[in-house]
Structure 1
Amino acid sequence: MSLDYLVAQPVLEAERFILRPVRKSDTGLISHYASDERVARMTTSIAHPLPPGAVDAFVARAMAEDRSEDVWVIDGTREGGAELKGIIGLKRMDRNQSEVGYWVAPPFWNTGLASDALQLLVGSNPLKNDTMFASVFQDNPASARVLTHCGFKYLGDAESFSVARDATVPTWTYSRKL
């Protein structure tokens, strides 16, 4: 990994965690949590059951210099916590916009971690976006509350395909001007 990569994707610091780039050593914990059906079903891209090599491929994409998405690990070690509590990312879009995606490991649900991580990402605005978008499945109101808590405004209903559910699922779409 080159030093340019580290400069291009900063480490973002909060009181109880840091957001840091993904590294190969995260593969085991990502596999552990992403293989949980409760996590996979609330994402568009995580399959359940998790196929062999899927997390290795995800980590490789996240670390690639020509990546289209910057991915951070929510790392709680600065406060003596878990090394990986979740994942948050920004997928580049056109017109200086990006799409936010995140998941938090079940042991850390209902702790405010997702809201704090998203607020840090929005406040830091590492890609210098004009607007961030996000969508959540309509059967995941907790993630919708995270978005509205962080200043995202409801745009409308849509649908996205969920690999874990093998189905198209209704979503709510949100945006945040920066």
Structure 2
Amino acid sequence: MKLDAIINQPVIETERFDLRPLRRSDLGLIEHYASDERVARMTTSIPHPLPPGLIEGFIARAMAESRDEDVWAIDGSKDGGNELKGVISLKKLDRNQSEVAYWVAPIFWNSGIASLAVEALVSANPMKNDTMFASVFQDNPASARVLTHCGFQYLGDAESFAVARDATVPTWTYSHKLI
């Protein structure tokens, strides 16, 4: 795995794909995939239907120097695949911790992409965190398996508001000690 700095966020290279900072040209594919109700319903922040301008604002925030979250495109073009297969992010928390969040386009579900992306991000640990956290909805056991496969340990139950569901949804919370 190789890290190359771009502005102030690294590119994280793997054999199958790169995790690279978002760019404006990702707009169309992110809108296409994020507008899929199956994707939106498994996130806390993506509404369904997707309102105009939301993804453009998301990309602008992800590219801002003053951001508190680093967002990467899961870019499969290095092996002839799609330029964007999903998105993964690290949100800065206090005490040298961060929270991992990710989604993968449905066409790439059950291909190992999510596990490989989380493994690459944890291994690179670009924020030099002591601990990473992640939460998944309890009706999404596939994402829970991704986290446990990548070394995350179950912490407990909680709940989060899901915009696409317009409801508070039970979650499982996980942590991964890195240092």
TM-score normalised according to structure 1 size: 0.97
Superposed CA deviations along residues 111-137 of structure 1, whole A, max 9, x for unmatched, are: 000000000000000000000000000
SS at match of 1:11: strand
SS at match of 1:119: helix
Unpaired segments ≥5 residues, structure 1: none
Q: C-alpha distance in 1, partners of 2:119/2:8?
A: 20
Runs of 4+ in 1 over 6 A off after TM superposition: none
One-letter amino acid matched to 1:118: V
One-letter amino acid matched to 1:26: D
1:146 alignment partner in structure 2: 146
SS at match of 2:123: helix
1:170 alignment partner in structure 2: 170
1:60 alignment partner in structure 2: 60
2:83 alignment partner in structure 1: 83
SS at match of 2:66: coil
Q: How do 1:102-113 and structure 2 match up within 5 A?
A: 102-113=102-113
SS at match of 2:10: coil
Q: How do 1:6-155 and structure 2 match up within 5 A?
A: 6-155=6-155
Q: Percent identity?
A: 76
SS at match of 2:50: coil
SS at match of 2:155: strand
Q: C-alpha distance in 2, partners of 1:20/1:155?
A: 29
Q: C-alpha distance in 2, partners of 1:177/1:157?
A: 19
Q: C-alpha distance in 2, partners of 1:82/1:52?
A: 24
1:7 positional shift: 4.0
What number of residue pairs does the alignment pair up? Answer: 174
TM-score normalised according to structure 2 size: 0.96
Q: C-alpha distance in 2, partners of 1:76/1:48?
A: 26
1:8 positional shift: 1.8
Unpaired segments ≥5 residues, structure 2: none
One-letter amino acid matched to 2:81: G
1:6 positional shift: 2.0
One-letter amino acid matched to 1:35: S
